[in-house]
Structure 1
Amino acid sequence: MILYPAIDLKDGNAVRLVHGDMDQTTVFNDDPAAQAKAFVAAGCEWLHLVDLNGAFAGEPVNAAPVEAILAACPVPAQLGGGIRDMATIERWLDKGLARVILGTVAVEDPDLVRAAAKAFPGQVAVGLDARNGRVATRGWAEETDIMVTDLARSFEDAGIAAIIYTDILRDGAMKGPNVDATADLARAVDIPVIASGGVSSMADLTALQATGVISGAISGRALYDGAIDLAAALETLKG
């Protein structure tokens, strides 16, 4: 199972939110590239980046820090937030991003997801963010009546690289991930599923790995707070 350190970007800083609330922000580093380099130095194989402003604006806002991270770090990075058209997808991949994460458009324009996955094999992931099992969009501000599992299954034949599943009520709250819901989703589809939201201890990571069906986990606040030692966690997950 791959551990993805998360760098959430707001106003050029590396931050964490609680429950996706832009008004509940903690700034952890005003130099996101330096933070990314620290994660790489600890041994991470991937980076998970989120343009929080972009998720609300519907277009990239924190391009400068993302580009700085890509220039500074040799490991692949995936990015979500405000990526809602083919031109933006192409632009980010051209800049060296390994994978784009499409969230809102997965609900509003699923044909774009399919076209992008076909045009860029292995480089398009879908971000499914849920509150009580229902998909939320536009920076989690809008809740739909669409069930996560139903939407995931609709992309089964699209060729997407991964699904990033976030339980919004767990995100940034240090209460542990929704292991059962994430594992149920992973069993429901053949697409690799990455857990996000609430991963706050080594026990959380081992519980996710023990399911045998979850391909990755994203953690942010716990790494910044020191609740998870990244180097030690990476070593444990390898073993």
Structure 2
Amino acid sequence: MLIFPTMELQGGRCVTLAKGRLDEPMIWHVDPVETAHGFAEAGASWMHLTDFDAVEGRGDNAALVEEIIRSAGIPVQLGGGFHSRERVEHWIDKGAGRIVVGTLAARDPQLLRELAKFHPDQIVLAVDVWRGKVMTDGWRTSSAWAPEAFVEAFGEAPFAGIIITDIENELDEVEAELGLIASLAAQARAPVIASGVVRSVDDIARLTYIPNIAGALVGRALFRKTVDLSEALRIAQPGPEPVAEFQ
């Protein structure tokens, strides 16, 4: 299972959100570029990056995002404000390894199928679920989609993955319930990346036992230091079980 150390940008700074509120970020006084380098040095093979300013439609962190893509040393899975084909393809041309799309998928499923076809293994479907509905616009708008129907609507589209966020777990910060992610993973045809459920390395260990879970986003727990990235990577990729030697 891949661990995606996760960085979220707002106003050029690393942030995490309290209760999902874009207007009340927790600011982390770290250098975003150096933090990305640290992810690579710890052994991560991918990182996940979200531009919250682009999500809000109030500018973006384009220059900083481009610098991270160029210099991180590992491929970047990029999310935030991808509402058109042009923007998706712009960032693929800029070197993003994967593009994460959610709102556009809910509004124009056919366009997302086309993007997945033309850019196989570079498009990731975001499924953000709250109270039985897929949320859009940075969790601010409830769509008409049930998550099961949303995943099914894309059939055999060649996604690089499907990120499933259980928003209620993410907001409440209680011990993660994995039922929603497990049920959607059983249905999905693309590898599933779990989001919003990792508070500790124990959560990573639990995820490794769920079929079709190919990865997990880990962000706030890294900044709060409740998860050590090197340890998380080790648990996600366990070595062979020791075998007793018989004389």
TM-score tier by shorter-chain length is over 0.9
Q: Percent identity?
A: 36
Report what 1:201 is aligned to. 200
User: Which is worse superposed, 6-15 or 23-32?
Assistant: 23-32
Structure in which a larger fraction of residues adopt strand: 1
Q: CA deviation at 1:81?
A: 0.9
Q: CA deviation at 1:52?
A: 1.1
Q: TM-score, normalised by structure 1?
A: 0.94
1:93-113 CA-to-partner distances (Å, cap 9, x unmatched) read 111100001110110111111
Moved over 2 A (4+): 169-178
Kept after mapping to 2: 8 A contact 1:18/1:173:
no
Alignment: residue pair count: 238
CA distance in 2 between counterparts of 1:231 and 1:19 reads 27
Kept after mapping to 2: 8 A contact 1:116/1:124:
yes
Q: CA deviation at 1:30?
A: 4.7
Q: Over alpha carbons, which structure has the higher Rg?
A: 2
Report what 1:102 is aligned to. 101
Report what 2:76 is aligned to. 77
Matched residue SS, 1:135: strand
CA distance in 2 between counterparts of 1:109 and 1:19 reads 28
1:31-55 CA-to-partner distances (Å, cap 9, x unmatched) read 2111111111111111001111111
Superposed counterparts of 1:26-41, under 5 Å: 26-41=26-41
Q: Does 1:212 align with 2:214?
A: no
Amino acid at match of 1:93: I
Report what 2:25 is aligned to. 25
CA distance in 2 between counterparts of 1:235 and 1:23 reads 35
Report what 1:143 is aligned to. 142
1:92-143 CA-to-partner distances (Å, cap 9, x unmatched) read 0111100001110110111111111111111001111111221010111101
Matched residue SS, 2:68: helix
Unmatched 5+ residue regions in structure 1? Answer: none
Q: CA deviation at 1:151?
A: 0.3
Report what 2:49 is aligned to. 49
Q: TM-score, normalised by structure 2?
A: 0.92
CA distance in 1 between counterparts of 2:67 and 2:171 reads 25
1:136-172 CA-to-partner distances (Å, cap 9, x unmatched) read 1011110123111110111122222211011122226
Decide whether aligned partners of structure 1 residues 35 and 174 sit closer, same or farther in structure 2, where only a CA change above 3 A counts. farther
Report what 2:16 is aligned to. 16
CA distance in 1 between counterparts of 2:18 and 2:88 reads 28
Kept after mapping to 2: 8 A contact 1:177/1:196:
no
Q: CA deviation at 1:176?
A: 4.0
Cα RMSD over matched residues?
A: 1.5
Q: Does 1:167 align with 2:166?
A: yes
Q: CA deviation at 1:212?
A: 2.9
CA distance in 2 between counterparts of 1:60 and 1:112 reads 24
Amino acid at match of 2:161: A
CA distance in 2 between counterparts of 1:109 and 1:178 reads 31
Kept after mapping to 1: 8 A contact 2:37/2:73:
no
CA distance in 2 between counterparts of 1:40 and 1:164 reads 21
Unmatched 5+ residue regions in structure 2? Answer: 239-247
1:44-89 CA-to-partner distances (Å, cap 9, x unmatched) read 11100111111121x8611122111112112111111101111111
Kept after mapping to 1: 8 A contact 2:132/2:147:
yes
Kept after mapping to 1: 8 A contact 2:201/2:231:
no
Q: Does 1:236 align with 2:235?
A: yes
Amino acid at match of 2:141: E
User: Which is worse superposed, 166-175 or 125-134?
Assistant: 166-175
Kept after mapping to 2: 8 A contact 1:156/1:191:
no
Amino acid at match of 1:12: G
CA distance in 1 between counterparts of 2:197 and 2:61 reads 24
CA distance in 2 between counterparts of 1:172 and 1:191 reads 26
CA distance in 2 between counterparts of 1:40 and 1:7 reads 13
Report what 2:244 is aligned to. none
